[in-house]
Structure 1
């Protein structure tokens, strides 16, 4: 369903009993709500949560920001970053955090549990720092609390993250298969048919569109260092990170946990930078146990 949140249109799916505690799942860079494994959503519903998923701004069926005039070409972004030129962003991760609060307001959800992965994990941190009164707990998965592209890391990391448009469904499917090969969870592998079905579902929803993904990337790159602020956080927080994450190394997850007082840290062997159907039950178990103990 389309809802108006924070002044824009967002595509939201609401699963489970509305009377149950709300758990909002926040996706990472460039991905859509169809990239959540079905058994992750149904598992959280079975665990007693009203589970909400949505397309972040600029992807899927949510509002795009093509008219902002912000450069979103992959090569232009890489060249500007390499030269140290200032990179303009169409919006910030704080705006994206406010989108989550807008969803809660539109659905009359006073407080919610938050679960964010990768870029969504950075948004989850900002929600905890700016809207702690609206959160019950915060689960931060495969993320970092420091600036994404620090000095010296531009040449290595940025080319892996910028997007270029796929010209066909087959190309989009091949690209996602390759992504799973690079960043997937080797201890919890996904079948080729599942990956291709995910890519098809995303492609048929009008994306992924490189311009929107790159605008999200610019917002992520502009996000501030959160380490100092996290030290003052007083909210039940759980940090989950894969020991086999080849995109954001496990030390970055440990660093988040080290900066949040009394946080719970779960490193997972065999987990990379993607939650697969085989990994979903372990994630559900960890999060459900954490929330139950926090309550």
Structure 2
């Protein structure tokens, strides 16, 4: 369903359940709400939670910003590398305000905020700026954004910058499959057929390459977030794989160090994806953590 949140149209899915504690799931760069596996959502619902997930702006079925253009990604990446400001059409804080707007539109005062990758960055800003709305924070395979942290492996950077050979469905699927396999969890390999079907499903729902570029620029422009993490007062769980080639484990470790009282859980053999066995491991930590936060509240 479409909701007006923070003044724009945002696509939302809500499991419902009046009176249940709410979990807001925020997905990462270029990823749609369906990137949260259905079984992941069902397990949270079965544990007694109301689950809300949405397409971030410029991705999926939410409002786009094509009129803003994309600018020169390579030039902006160079500016970031030498410490100059990155120009972006909107900010990570804008996306955090969108997330809070989704809660407002649904009449939800408070939620457990769970974010993966860029979604973790958005979730961190929600928790830092709206502690009264944040029952707890779960930051998965994400980063504080501090400048000294290591970046993606060079082959992953090259894959991110590479464009599909053609705009046919088959070429787009092959392009996305190559990147997905590059950042996958070495200890939890996914069946290629299943992965291909998931990618094709996402492409049928929406294909927004310019939105991905604008989101990348928003991440690049978000250079001061690390300084805000000390403000976070909500219970915080940081989950990160030790084999992540896109956002290295040092980024999760730094996030946990900067948030008072945060607990870091390192998942051996996890990369930068959510195959079913990884989801099982994550949920074994997330559900008790959120239940404990509820009981303390």
Task: Please give the TM-score of this superposition, normalised by the length of structure 2.
Answer: 0.90
Looking at structure 2, the residues matched to 248 and 257 of structure 1 have their Cα atoms a distance apart, in angstroms, of: 14
Structure 1 pair 90–10 and aligned structure 2 pair: CA distance change class (3 A): same
Looking at structure 2, the residues matched to 161 and 97 of structure 1 have their Cα atoms a distance apart, in angstroms, of: 24
CA contact 2:144–2:225 (8 Å) conserved in 1: yes
Structure 1 pair 254–17 and aligned structure 2 pair: CA distance change class (3 A): same
1:270 shift after superposition: 1.4
Is structure 2 residue 164 aligned with structure 1 residue 168?
no
Looking at structure 2, the residues matched to 164 and 100 of structure 1 have their Cα atoms a distance apart, in angstroms, of: 30
Which digits, 9 at most, give the CA deviation of each residue in 1:104-158, with x for residues without a partner? 000000100010011001111101111111110000010110247x699699475
1:87 shift after superposition: 3.4
Structure 1 pair 154–263 and aligned structure 2 pair: CA distance change class (3 A): closer
Aligned pairs for 1:1-295 (under 5 A) are: 1-71=1-71, 76-82=72-78, 86-147=85-146, 156=154, 159-162=158-161, 164=163, 167-207=167-207, 209-295=208-294
Looking at structure 1, the residues matched to 152 and 274 of structure 2 have their Cα atoms a distance apart, in angstroms, of: 26
CA contact 1:82–1:155 (8 Å) conserved in 2: no
Indicate the RMSD between aligned Cα atoms, in angstroms: 2.2
Range with bigger deviation, 178-187 or 268-277: 178-187
Unpaired runs of 5+ residues, structure 1, are none
Looking at structure 2, the residues matched to 78 and 257 of structure 1 have their Cα atoms a distance apart, in angstroms, of: 30
Looking at structure 2, the residues matched to 152 and 274 of structure 1 have their Cα atoms a distance apart, in angstroms, of: 19
Range with bigger deviation, 170-179 or 23-32: 170-179
Structure 1 pair 23–80 and aligned structure 2 pair: CA distance change class (3 A): closer
Which digits, 9 at most, give the CA deviation of each residue in 1:164-193, with x for residues without a partner? 466122122212321222111122222112
SS in 2 for 1:278: helix
Structure 1 pair 4–122 and aligned structure 2 pair: CA distance change class (3 A): same
SS in 1 for 2:190: coil
SS in 2 for 1:189: coil
**Matched length:** 289
Looking at structure 1, the residues matched to 273 and 151 of structure 2 have their Cα atoms a distance apart, in angstroms, of: 22
Looking at structure 2, the residues matched to 129 and 62 of structure 1 have their Cα atoms a distance apart, in angstroms, of: 25
Which digits, 9 at most, give the CA deviation of each residue in 1:206-229, with x for residues without a partner? 21x221100000001000233332
SS in 2 for 1:275: coil
Looking at structure 1, the residues matched to 22 and 89 of structure 2 have their Cα atoms a distance apart, in angstroms, of: 30
Looking at structure 1, the residues matched to 189 and 205 of structure 2 have their Cα atoms a distance apart, in angstroms, of: 25
SS in 1 for 2:115: strand
Looking at structure 1, the residues matched to 293 and 150 of structure 2 have their Cα atoms a distance apart, in angstroms, of: 39
